[in-house]
Structure 1
């Protein structure tokens, strides 16, 4: 969990530095103090996830004996994320943009006009639960199939955090020319613009 916090803090620092320089900002506005205050609890999501992982460890004792690497578990994690998790995430996110759910939940996330990496985890509690359950599908599956490894868990969490942070920063981290050279990349990642 400490590595996740450090990873997020590096993104926050990089994003605020790039925003303050102002040369490559996507949205040419300053970050409002209200947004900084509203997003000051960005680490709650990491602490909540840590608590749920701890509870999971207590309920599934064999999870404490994970090997460092299992290729089959890494492949299962990738395939489950690319298939059912992305599919379900798309429909969950679409549902959260429906007026009923948007006005009660998801609008809190979209109230940040100048996004920062931590904007990606600023959600009401019910959304945190839904996202945790959704993104836990590959992790839980590898546990029950006994293919889990430290690499599949840590790599998956790092991937999710990296993509969320990159997708919400206020500058283009990946040069647009890279998408011209490798057009398939647009199916593997999203960018702030």
Structure 2
């Protein structure tokens, strides 16, 4: 926890403990019921796929956790050459909270925005637009958001919780107070909402973009280097699309 926790630090479903996933049950039941009883033209495929996508995100993160801890235990090529403390493991046990939060918002947005309920499998123009928006305004705003979070007022109340983990793991990337996760979610929703409102969204770009964010977050905090440094020298713009632990 941050040194002087601010408001909206705790996740609202913390009292539920391991039963927190009951929050998505009504949405899951409704979306799957629609798939069973409605005509093919009326089925909401996006809502139906949200649960499998959440399960994929959990699996994706778990793969990175396993790989990172294996490399940490092996002891070679670590960036921070220390072991992981038990306090950190306990502090990062709620790494799945942000996936649950995202899932709830996905369901609500799917029902709130008409353009988000029936998406094609693929649209090339949507992919290009997502890349441009991410490399441009999203990265720019993320830089200043991160700078703001390192101001002593916000750092002591929120962001210091994230930096309590000295030996980072992939899941360290999402260990933040509730309100900080909201700020990140709003920022990275800019490309997706733009695609929905311009009717250029597709299933591949929506799920692919979120998977890309997960991949970058996990790789950027895994405490061992994967991407060779020479790639950034050969192609300097690569730094606008990805980052690495070092």
TM-score, with structure 1 as normaliser: 0.96
The alpha-carbon distance between structure 1 residues 105 and 9, as it changes in their structure 2 partners (threshold 3 A), is same
For 2:170, the equivalent position in structure 1 comes to 117
Which residue of 131, 150, 163 corresponds with 2:184?
Answer: 131
Q: Does 1:185 align with 2:238?
A: yes
Equivalent positions of 1:83-98 (< 5 A) are: 83-98=136-151
Measured against aligned partners, the alpha-carbon deviations of 1:130-155 in whole angstroms (never above 9, x if no partner) come to 00100000000110111100011011
Conserved? CA contact 2:162–2:175, under 8 Å? yes
Deviation at 1:61, TM superposition (A): 3.3
Deviation at 1:91, TM superposition (A): 0.3
Deviation at 1:20, TM superposition (A): 0.4
User: What is the rounded CA distance, in whole Å, between the counterparts of 1:25 and 1:162 in structure 2?
Assistant: 19
Which residue of 201, 220, 224 corresponds with 1:167?
Answer: 220
DSSP 3-state at the match of 1:52 = helix
Q: Does 1:57 align with 2:110?
A: yes
For 2:51, the equivalent position in structure 1 comes to none
Deviation at 1:183, TM superposition (A): 4.1
The alpha-carbon distance between structure 1 residues 180 and 74, as it changes in their structure 2 partners (threshold 3 A), is closer
Q: How many residues align?
A: 193
The alpha-carbon distance between structure 1 residues 81 and 181, as it changes in their structure 2 partners (threshold 3 A), is closer
Alignment gaps of 5+ in structure 2: 1-53
Q: Does 1:146 align with 2:216?
A: no
Deviation at 1:72, TM superposition (A): 1.1
For 1:156, the equivalent position in structure 2 comes to 209
User: What is the rounded CA distance, in whole Å, between the counterparts of 1:38 and 1:83 in structure 2?
Assistant: 33
Alignment gaps of 5+ in structure 1: none
Which residue of 73, 89, 99 corresponds with 2:126?
Answer: 73
Query: What is the aligned-residue RMSD (CA, Å)?
Result: 1.2
Measured against aligned partners, the alpha-carbon deviations of 1:28-71 in whole angstroms (never above 9, x if no partner) come to 10000000000000010011000001110111133121000011
For 1:107, the equivalent position in structure 2 comes to 160
DSSP 3-state at the match of 1:65 = coil
TM-score, with structure 2 as normaliser: 0.76
User: What is the rounded CA distance, in whole Å, between the counterparts of 1:178 and 1:146 in structure 2?
Assistant: 35
User: What is the rounded CA distance, in whole Å, between the counterparts of 2:130 and 2:78 in structure 1?
Assistant: 34
For 1:28, the equivalent position in structure 2 comes to 81
User: What is the rounded CA distance, in whole Å, between the counterparts of 1:136 and 1:178 in structure 2?
Assistant: 29
Deviation at 1:112, TM superposition (A): 0.2
Deviation at 1:185, TM superposition (A): 3.0
User: What is the rounded CA distance, in whole Å, between the counterparts of 2:241 and 2:210 in structure 1?
Assistant: 16
